[in-house]
Amino acid sequence: MTTDTPNLGTPLIEVVGVNKTFGAVHVLHNVDFKVYPGQVTSLIGDNGAGKTTLIKCITGIYAMDSGEVRFEGEHVKISGPHDAAVLGLEVVYQDLALCENLDVVQNLFLGRERLKYGLLDEASMEQSTRETLASLSVRTVKSVRQKVASLSGGQRQTVAIAKAVLWNSRVVLLDEPTAALGVAQTKQVLDLVRRLADQGLGVVLISHNMNDVLQVSDRVCAMYLGRVAADVAITPETRREFLVELITAGRSGNVGLQAAGEVVV
């Protein structure tokens, strides 16, 4: 297996020693997590392993009990979605959070509308929407003035992702982007995920689908009962069974957690 010292430069986002408890339940134990530019880092783990909690700690929705977030090596304090957005950290949630009664342009610019003489500058927003979608090679949306209600699941996912990257974001966190999609749409979204990383963004993909993970990821971080079981690079030799064992047992061969809970890499 590959070692954990890749020569990928400074991580865009790095969290060190995160602990989080909800009352008596210790949800995250000394979690370390890194996101590199130009890489798709998959975050995998069973239900309740702490994936979503970790994401919410990183984006400031939950306060960490202890631990530190570094952005490009600098210590930063993120205490809410606004701070995250300022750093260029965008999350695409599973439920997408699009307004179905608004069209694609209106959704993309929601909350950050461009104004001209104090009024909405529709022409400029429309043009930027087309450029953003074109730069992501999105070919499935035929009109940027379509209401989101009329779009398919894959198209909505595309719009949600475009919304996240429109703001010159540096890191995009995707929560189960393919969970509700068919085969063809899944492929479109995974292609899009890959293109984001190829454009130099740091991409975090939360997924339960090991095929998706193997297909697009450069690295994988497996969580098991609130601990990081492994943080390794994906190689052509990486097998599906290896990931499944990490998820279900916390270790596979000589990679993973010791019985005592120590991390061996």
Partner 1 sequence: MSTEPVRSEALSDFALDTSKKDLKAVVADFRVRMKSGDLGSLPAILAICVLVAVFGSTRRSSFVTAQNLANFFEQAAAVIVIAMAVSFVLLLGEIDLAAGYTAGVAAAVLAIRLKEGWGLPAAIVLSALVAIALGLWTGVLVAKLGIPSFVVTLANFLVFQGILLILVKEGGSVRIDNDIIKGIVGNNLSPTMSWVVAVVGLLAFCFGQVHKRRRSDGVIAAGIVVARIAFATVVVVALVLILNRNRAFATANSEIRGMPYVIPLVLIIMLALTFMLDRTRYGRHLMAVGGNQEAARRAGINVVRVRLSAFAGCGLLAGVGGAFLASRVNSIDPNTGGNDTLLLAVGAAVIGGTSLFGGQGRMLNAVLGGLVLALIPNGLGLVGEASPLGIDIDFGSSGVKFICAGLALLLAASVDALSRKRTA
Using CB under 8 A as the criterion, which residues of the chain lie in contact with partner 1 when the complex forms? 81-82, 85, 93, 95-102, 106-107, 110-113, 115, 118-120, 122-123, 126-127, 130-131, 133-135, 138-139, 141-146, 149-150, 199
The nearest distance, CB 57 to partner 1, in angstroms, is 17
The nearest distance, CB 191 to partner 1, in angstroms, is 16
Nearer to partner 1 by Cβ, of 37 and 67: the residue is: 37
The nearest distance, CB 143 to partner 1, in angstroms, is 4
The nearest distance, CB 109 to partner 1, in angstroms, is 9
CA-based R_g, the chain, Å: 19
The nearest distance, CB 258 to partner 1, in angstroms, is 40
The nearest distance, CB 189 to partner 1, in angstroms, is 18
Nearer to partner 1 by Cβ, of 131 and 241: the residue is: 131
Closest CA to 38 of 233, 213, 199: 199
Nearer to partner 1 by Cβ, of 46 and 113: the residue is: 113
Nearer to partner 1 by Cβ, of 32 and 122: the residue is: 122
**Contact 190/139 with Cβ under 8 angstroms?**
no
- CB burial of residue 161 (10 Å; 0-12, 13-18, 19+): buried
Nearer to partner 1 by Cβ, of 123 and 264: the residue is: 123
**Contact 55/175 with Cβ under 8 angstroms?**
yes
Nearer to partner 1 by Cβ, of 135 and 258: the residue is: 135
Both tokens assigned to 221: 């971080």
143 vs 186: CA distance, rounded Å? 21
All residues at 6 or more sequence positions from 127 whose CB lies less than 8 Å from its CB, including other chains: none
Residue 243 has φ and ψ, to the nearest 5°, of -65, -40
Nearer to partner 1 by Cβ, of 174 and 232: the residue is: 174
The nearest distance, CB 23 to partner 1, in angstroms, is 25
All residues at 6 or more sequence positions from 102 whose CB lies less than 8 Å from its CB, including other chains: 110, 147, 148
The DSSP annotation for 1-37 comes to ---S-----S-SEEEEEEEEEETTEEEEEEEEEEE-T
